[in-house]
């Protein structure tokens, strides 16, 4: 079993954090993991993406041409990654930040107003976790309990106070019905 996920958006949207959470979750399940971030020179506002490969066997390369899943947080990311997903794969789109619907019919596409959901929770910075929840509910290679463990690992130390609200965001995304 090997699954590749690309998370993409603008810098500052928590793209790299979500990649780490998926990675920590896989490690909690004794799986092999690669986490491969890519971002522009700007910390916020530039483009950012992250590739996570999880497998029960040794991983040959962190580079992925055709992922099984993608979380796209903005229009440029949808335009770039939609056609790359393998048939039967998963695409989670932040419909709050895009101006079109997905075109593919051979994948599971979840169009979720993640920014609005995050704002209802209290802060749009939780948009990324809402989207991760939507992918977790749809995909067969992630589960909420493991992702919650990944969140706990990713929010240790000074950020531990944010764990419960992130769990709320995760569950809101997982329970979203269009």
Residue scoring higher pLDDT (40 or 29) = 29
pLDDT at residue 75 is higher than 90 = yes
Average pLDDT over residues 146-153: 95
Q: What is the enclosing helix (H) or strand (E) of 88?
A: none
Q: Which residue has the tokens 């909690």?
A: 28
User: How confident is the model at residue 141, as a pLDDT?
Assistant: 86
> Could you give the count of Cα atoms lying within 13 Å of 178 in the half-sphere of its Cβ?
14
User: How confident is the model at residue 42, as a pLDDT?
Assistant: 52
| Cα distances (Å, whole numbers) of residue 171 to 42, 88, 115, 150, 174 | 31, 24, 15, 14, 5
Helix axes 114-121, 163-174, angle to 10 degrees: 140
Euclidean distance between the first and final Cα of the chain, in Å? Answer: 30
* Domain 2-174: CATH class, spelled out: alpha beta
User: How confident is the model at residue 60, as a pLDDT?
Assistant: 87
> Could you tell me how many residues make up the chain?
178
| Cα distances (Å, whole numbers) of residue 75 to 35, 80, 81 | 23, 9, 10
pLDDT at residue 118 is higher than 60 = yes
pLDDT at residue 45 is higher than 70 = no
Average pLDDT over residues 99-119: 97
User: How confident is the model at residue 142, as a pLDDT?
Assistant: 82
- The rounded percent of the chain whose pLDDT value lies above 70 is 96
User: How confident is the model at residue 41, as a pLDDT?
Assistant: 60
pLDDT at residue 15 is higher than 70 = yes
């Amino acid at each position: 079993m090997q699954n590749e996920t690309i998370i993409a958006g603008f810098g500052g949207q928590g793209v790299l954090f979500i990649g780490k959470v998926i990675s920590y979750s896989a490690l909690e399940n004794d799986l092999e993991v690669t986490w491969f971030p890519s971002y522009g020179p700007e910390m916020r506002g530039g483009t950012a993406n992250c590739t996570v490969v999880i497998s029960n066997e040794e991983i040959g390369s962190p580079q992925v041409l055709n992922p099984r899943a993608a979380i796209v947080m903005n229009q440029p990311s949808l335009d770039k990654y939609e056609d790359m997903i393998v048939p039967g794969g998963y695409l989670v789109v932040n419909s709050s930040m895009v101006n079109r619907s997905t075109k593919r019919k051979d994948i599971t596409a979840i169009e979720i107003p993640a920014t609005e959901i995050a704002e209802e929770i209290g802060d749009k910075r939780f948009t990324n976790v809402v989207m991760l929840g939507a992918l977790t509910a749809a995909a067969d290679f992630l589960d909420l309990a493991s992702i919650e463990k990944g969140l706990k690992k990713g929010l240790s130390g000074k950020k531990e106070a944010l764990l419960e609200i992130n769990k709320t965001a995760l569950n809101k995304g997982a329970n979203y019905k269009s």
